[in-house]
Every structure is written in structure tokens, then in C-alpha cells.
């Protein structure tokens, strides 16, 4: 069998759970049409719980319809871009579906972005309207970008009365340097108020024809190896296909009868597509959190009897040691899933000892509409992020060419399927580099170095840009980090290659020690530990102790920022 055929036969199908199909039928629907169907079927079921306040599907749909009518009356037309600069809250959900209902596309902006980053995204995405948390408006104002409409909303609008003051207080601490615009400023700047629009307009959304195959749902921005972020173009078909794939792969979820914790940020593709859309397109109850307060989340899991929990590695790393983790009956959950970064084996082992449950890893990218792989529920494999979802084709090629590599060899993961983006917004060259043609078929180059074993399970090694070349050897930064995390006194680690004319790149490790070990463990001791656990060429030359490491929006160590520090 030649290497290409090894992937064409889809060896992973043998390990699909019983009843999971090879492919799925994708409904010819838009995202708002899918939501409307669910909202009608489960009209009286609870859609959202926001710090104790519940909203039924019928109420949510009515607010979506009212806001879409408002947007239409304000001049938003099909094809416009609406920026969502919001924390997780009911307004995010309402604005998201209402924007799509009028045929607009959304571009979600991270609440932690600076005005410089916000300006880039507003201009690059051609945003004409922004829906903004009032406490964040100051950052929008600083961009100097002229928008047709600015709509403000306050976090307290959907909180229970007893929680409103607490909600404002909590945000005030997080965003202490920002201020809510005064009534005078609101009037002078012509700013609109979310609640005023909801109350003013009837629930009569405009009739807009949407082509699921061509029309865009979202322009989520993803970081590049260099320069400013770029947006992946995701269509209605991409989003609807992902929901069909996930439903087929996890058939144990009962439509209209699950409870999901929604603390992952909706501006990120994981929170937006897996948690928000995955819940509201299946009639689930979504318990919303504006900030990921661990105590609030754990309490709500027991109170509302959560059946699904989606997290990121840093969260599980924290929970495995947290004193209150045992308050949750984790064995009751149908799925505990981890994505957005690689889960260290030490975390997996500690979690299983602590809770008696397994974490199911998945893999995906913004460019794949969030997920392409998941761990089979009956047969997860430690160190693997699982197998392709129904309808996804995956293969490994030479990361410097397009030759297919046999199972067991490490190369670049490429993907084909209905959830692959149309391309990068306004980035023709970037699109040509990412979407390549091999033997007449279009594939996405993921930029990730991966292998597939004989059973069709895939294993992550590193991002292609994080591969360190030392004296001709290839060193995976993640492999070195895995060893560092095994040291009992290391809390966090990040590894990068530093350019060096003699060796190509030498290996540098940034290390955060546990508090009790700080000042007591030396650089030499860490290097000695690495020598005992790594081949000589993988041992870091330099160890730098830090109090903390730079993180991405979803909490993973930002190697890009560490590399940039070395370059300056």
C-alpha cells in the first residue's frame, strides 16, 4: 500500500463508536434557520441561565427577532460586517443570531484587545456596526474608526436584580482603567442602547434569502506566525456541517435534554461554535459565565446537573490540584472534553486519579470551524487527539512538500471536508499557501506536525513554526516541555529556539516554579533533570525563571511572544 492509500482507506473507521456513520448529510440550511427550528421545537425549555436568571427558547427567539428587526431598520443589509465586542452574556447570543438573520456576518473581537488591535480588526473586516459592552467602549473610541452605528449594552441588563450590583462591581475590578460612557457622551456621539432597540422594535425579522454554500457567517481572526491576525472565512454550510458532524460523533447527547457550562469565550472559535452553537442548535441549556470564576462554575455544575464540560489544558491543570474539584460528581457527566492546546500526560494522569474520569481530547482550528478530530468515547488513546470526525479526510504530508508520508512518520497534517474555510479574508497569498491542490483535490495545510498510527489515531508533535533546528536535529518544543512538566516543582514552561549562527538554533526554556521552590532550585538543576530525561541534543542550553509566562486568549503559553522577546 502506498502512503496516500493508507489514509484513503480511513483506518480510523474501525474504531468509531457503534452507530457512528462514515459521513453525514448536511442540511441545506442557514445558521438562523437551524436555530429557529430548534427554538420552535423546544420553545418552553430553558435556553440560557445567566447567574440564576433563566431564558426560555421562545423568549430568546423573540429577542433575536426584535434585534434583527432593529438592525434592519438601522440600515444593516446583507453582506455587512458587524463587530461583536462583548463578554459572554445573553446579549452576545442575541446579537449573533440577529446579525445572521439580516444576512450580515459577524467578526468577534477579544475583550482583552488593545485599541490598536481593535482598529486593525474593524478596518480589515470592513465592519460598519459594532455591538459593544459599555465598559469597553473607551477602547473603541480610541481607535478613531468611524462606524455607522455603535450599540452599547451593559452586563447588568440580563442579570437577576440581586446580582446586578455584584456584576458591575466584578467587571469594574477587571476593567478598572475603563469607564462607562456618560449619558452626555452617549447623546453627543449618537450611540445607541441595546435594550432601547429590543423594546422599540417588534419581533418581525426581515425576510432575507441566504445561500448556505456561499454566504458568510463569521470572520474570526486567528494569529499568524508573524504580523497582524487574519480572518478565516466561515460560511453557513461550514457551521451547519460541523453541528451535523458533532451530533453524529457524539450520539449519546439527547437533543433538548443536556446542560452545558459556557465559560469559554465566545469570541474564540471553540467557545463560539462548539459551546454556543453546539448547545443552541440542539436545544440544550447553556449556563453562561461572563468571567471563568472556578467556584461559580463548580457550584453551577452541581446545581444544574451539567452533562458536558468543555475546557482547555490550563484549566484542567488547575482543577487537578484545586481543593474544591471534588465537589462535582464528574462521573455523572457524559463528556469532559479538552481542546485549543495539547494536554500534558501528567495532567491526564493526575485528573484520572483525582476524579476517576477521562478527558477526551479533540483537535481543530479556526480554519476548520473549530473541530476536525475527536477521541472515540469508548476508546480514547492517551497522547492522541483522536480520529477524524465523520466526513473529514485527513492525511500527513512532507512539511516542506506535498509527498504523502506513511503511518508513523511525522509530517504536516492536511485536511479535507465540509468545515474547511473558504479562505482568508483579503489574503489571497495566504489562502493559496493554506489551501493547496494535490491530485486534483483541495486540502488545508494546517501547519501542525502530526503523525497517524496504524489504527488511524492522530498524535500531535508541534506547530511547524515551533520546530527547533539544532545542529541538523529536529527538536519539538512540546516534547521538551512535556519533560519539564514532569518535574514536581515546575508549574509552567515554554520552550523556543533562539537563532545562533553556530548551531542554527539553541534551545531555551522559560520556567515558572511552584511558589515554595522559587529561589531554591537553580538553572543547573533543571538542566540536569533534562539530561536525565532527554537525548543530549534536546536539552535546553538556557533556563530562564519567570514569575509568569505570556498566554494566548485561551490560556496556552504563547511561544510566539517568547520568540519575539528573543528577537528584540
Q: For the residues 284-297, what does the mean pLDDT come to? A: 94
DSSP state for residue 547 in the 8-state scheme: S
Per-residue cell: 314: 490550563
C-alpha–C-alpha distance, residues 25 and 237, integer Å: 11
Please name the residue that has the C-alpha cell 491542490: 437
- Domain edges within the chain: 3-26+232-462, 57-209, 471-567
Whole-number Å distance between alpha carbons of 258 and 195: 29
Secondary structure of 348-368 as H, E, C letters: HHHHHHHHCCCCEEEECCHHH
**CATH class (in words) of the domain with range 3-26+232-462:** alpha beta
Residue 149, pLDDT > 80, answer yes
Q: How distant is the alpha carbon of residue 90 from its chain centre?
A: 19
Average pLDDT over residues 401-414: 94
Phi-psi region of 75 (alpha: psi -120 to 50; beta: other; left: phi over 0): left
Asked if pLDDT for residue 396 goes beyond 80, the answer is yes
The CA distance from 335 to 260, in Å, is 10
At 345, is the pLDDT very low, low, confident or very high (cuts 50, 70, 90)?
confident
pLDDT at residue 226, rounded to an integer: 41
- Crossing angle for the helix pair 477-485 and 523-533, nearest 10 degrees? 110
* Tens digits of residue pLDDT in 197-217: 999 999 999 999 999 999 999
With a CB cutoff of 8 Å and minimum separation 6, the contacts of 343 are 313, 316, 359, 361
215-229, 304-318, 533-547: segment of lowest average pLDDT? 215-229
Under the phi-then-psi rule, with left for phi > 0, alpha for psi from -120 to 50, and beta for the rest, what region is 229? Answer: beta
Give the contacts of 366 (CB within 8 A, at least 6 positions apart). 220, 221, 222, 232, 269, 421
| pLDDT tier at 227, thresholds 50, 70, 90 | low
How would you classify the pairing of strands 393-397 and 411-416? Answer: antiparallel
Domain boundaries 471-567, CATH class: alpha beta
C-alpha cell at 12: 480510523
pLDDT band of residue 431 (cuts 50, 70, 90) is very high
pLDDT at 170: 52
Instruction: Provide the whole-model pTM.
Output: 0.88
Fold agreement between 57-209 and 471-567: no
How much is the pLDDT for 350?
A: 92
Q: What is the mean pLDDT of residues 166-176?
A: 54
Q: Is 234 helix (H, G, I), strand (E, B) or coil?
A: strand
pLDDT of 164 above 70: no
pLDDT at 224: 46
- Write down the pLDDT at residue 282: 97
Please give the pLDDT value at position 49.
97
What is the reported pLDDT for 189?
A: 81
How many beta carbons lie within 10 A of that of residue 225, not counting itself?
Answer: 11
| Residue 440, C-beta contacts closer than 8 angstroms, at least 6 positions apart | none
User: Residue 476: its pLDDT value, please?
Assistant: 86
Residue-level pLDDT at 225: 38
Per residue in 507-552, pLDDT (tens digit) is 999 999 998 989 899 999 999 999 999 988 899 999 999 999 988 7
DSSP, res 149: E
Fold topology of 57-209: Rossmann fold (3.40.50)
> Cα separation of 143 and 132, whole Å?
14
d(CA 463, CA 448): 4
The answer to whether residue 556 scores a pLDDT higher than 80 is: no
Round to whole Å and give the CA distance between 182 and 70. Answer: 23
Residue with cell 519575539: 564
Query: In this structure, how many other beta carbons lie within 10 angstroms of the beta carbon of residue 275?
Result: 26
pLDDT at 163 (0 to 100): 67
Task: Outline where 404-468 has alpha helix (H).
Answer: 428-434
DSSP state letter for 325: G
What rounded mean pLDDT belongs to the chain? 92
Per-residue model confidence (pLDDT) at position 462:
82
Q: How far apart are CA 156 and CA 133, in angstroms?
A: 11
Amino acid 450: pLDDT: 94
Query: Three cell numbers at 563?
Result: 520568540
The predicted model gives 554-559 an average pLDDT of 79
Amino acid at each position: 500500500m502506498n502512503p496516500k492509500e493508507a489514509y484513503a482507506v480511513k483506518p480510523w473507521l474501525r474504531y468509531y463508536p457503534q452507530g457512528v456513520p462514515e459521513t453525514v448529510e448536511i442540511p441545506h440550511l442557514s445558521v438562523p434557520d437551524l436555530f429557529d427550528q430548534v427554538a420552535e421545537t423546544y420553545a418552553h425549555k430553558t435556553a440560557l441561565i445567566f447567574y440564576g436568571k433563566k431564558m426560555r427558547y421562545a423568549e430568546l427567539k423573540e429577542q433575536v427577532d426584535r434585534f434583527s428587526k432593529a438592525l434592519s431598520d438601522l440600515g444593516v443589509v446583507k453582506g455587512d460586517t458587524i463587530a461583536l465586542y462583548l463578554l459572554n452574556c445573553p446579549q452576545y447570543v442575541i446579537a449573533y443570531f440577529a446579525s445572521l438573520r439580516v444576512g450580515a456576518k459577524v467578526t468577534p473581537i477579544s475583550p482583552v484587545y488593545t485599541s490598536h488591535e481593535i482598529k486593525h480588526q474593524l478596518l480589515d473586516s470592513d465592519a460598519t456596526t459594532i455591538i459593544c459592552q459599555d465598559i469597553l467602549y473607551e477602547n473603541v473610541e480610541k481607535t478613531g474608526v468611524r462606524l455607522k452605528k455603535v450599540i452599547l449594552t451593559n452586563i447588568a441588563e440580563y442579570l437577576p436584580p440581586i446580582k446586578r450590583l455584584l456584576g458591575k462591581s466584578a467587571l469594574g475590578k477587571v476593567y478598572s482603567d475603563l469607564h462607562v460612557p456618560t449619558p452626555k457622551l452617549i447623546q453627543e456621539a449618537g450611540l445607541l442602547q441595546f435594550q432601547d432597540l429590543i423594546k422599540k422594535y417588534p419581533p418581525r425579522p426581515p425576510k432575507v434569502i441566504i445561500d448556505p454554500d456561499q454566504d458568510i457567517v463569521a470572520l474570526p481572526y486567528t494569529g499568524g506566525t508573524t504580523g497582524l491576525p487574519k480572518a478565516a472565512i466561515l460560511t453557513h454550510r461550514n457551521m451547519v456541517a460541523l453541528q451535523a458532524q458533532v451530533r453524529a460523533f457524539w450520539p449519546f447527547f439527547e437533543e433538548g435534554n443536556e446542560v452545558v457550562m459556557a465559560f469559554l469565550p465566545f469570541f474564540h472559535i471553540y467557545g463560539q461554535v462548539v459551546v454556543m452553537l453546539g448547545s443552541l442548535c440542539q436545544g440544550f441549556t447553556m449556563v453562561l459565565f461572563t468571567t471563568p470564576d472556578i467556584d461559580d462554575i463548580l457550584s453551577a455544575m452541581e446545581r444544574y446537573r451539567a452533562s458536558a464540560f468543555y475546557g482547555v489544558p490550563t484549566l484542567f491543570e488547575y482543577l487537578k490540584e484545586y481543593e474544591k474539584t471534588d465537589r462535582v460528581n464528574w462521573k455523572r457527566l457524559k463528556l469532559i472534553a479538552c481542546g485549543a492546546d495539547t494536554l500534558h500526560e501528567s495532567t491526564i494522569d493526575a485528573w484520572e486519579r483525582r476524579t476517576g474520569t477521562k478527558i477526551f481530547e479533540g483537535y481543530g482550528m479556526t480554519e476548520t470551524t473549530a473541530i476536525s478530530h475527536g477521541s472515540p468515547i469508548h476508546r480514547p488513546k492517551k497522547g492522541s487527539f483522536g480520529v477524524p470526525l465523520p466526513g473529514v479526510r485527513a492525511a500527513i504530508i512532507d512539511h516542506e512538500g506535498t509527498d504523502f508520508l506513511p503511518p508513523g512518520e511525522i509530517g504536516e497534517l492536511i485536511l479535507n471536508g465540509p468545515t474547511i474555510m473558504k479562505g482568508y479574508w483579503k489574503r489571497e497569498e495566504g489562502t493559496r499557501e493554506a489551501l493547496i491542490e494535490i491530485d486534483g483535490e483541495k486540502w488545508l495545510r494546517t501547519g501542525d506536525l502530526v503523525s497517524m498510527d496504524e489504527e488511524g489515531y492522530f498524535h500531535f508533535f508541534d506547530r511547524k513554526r515551533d520546530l527547533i533546528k539544532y545542529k541538523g536535529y529536529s527538536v519539538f518544543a512540546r516534547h521538551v516541555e512535556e519533560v519539564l512538566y514532569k518535574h514536581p516543582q515546575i508549574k509552567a514552561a515554554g520552550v523556543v529556539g533562539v537563532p545562533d549562527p553556530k548551531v542554527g538554533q539553541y534551545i531555551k526554556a522559560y520556567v515558572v516554579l511552584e511558589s515554595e521552590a522559587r529561589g531554591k532550585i537553580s538553572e543547573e538543576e533543571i538542566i540536569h533533570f533534562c539530561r536525565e530525561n532527554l537525548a543530549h541534543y534536546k536539552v535546553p542550553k538556557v533556563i530562564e525563571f519567570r514569575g509568569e509566562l505570556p498566554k494566548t486568549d485561551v490560556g496556552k503559553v504563547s511561544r510566539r511572544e517568547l520568540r519575539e522577546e528573543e528577537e528584540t
